[in-house]
Amino acid sequence: MTTVQDLKALCEELGLAGTELREFIREQQDREREERKTQREHEKQLREVEKDIEERQLNMKKLELEIKRIELNPAVEGESDEY
Identify the residue with better confidence: 38 or 8.
38
- pTM, two decimals, is 0.60
Expressed as residue numbers, the domain containing 70 is 4-82
| CB 38, CB 30: distance < 8 Å | no
Could you report the per-residue pLDDT of 30-75, keeping only the tens digit for each?
Answer: 999 999 999 999 999 999 999 999 999 999 999 999 999 999 987 6
Q: Total structural domains in the chain? A: 1
d(C-alpha 8, C-alpha 22), whole Å: 9
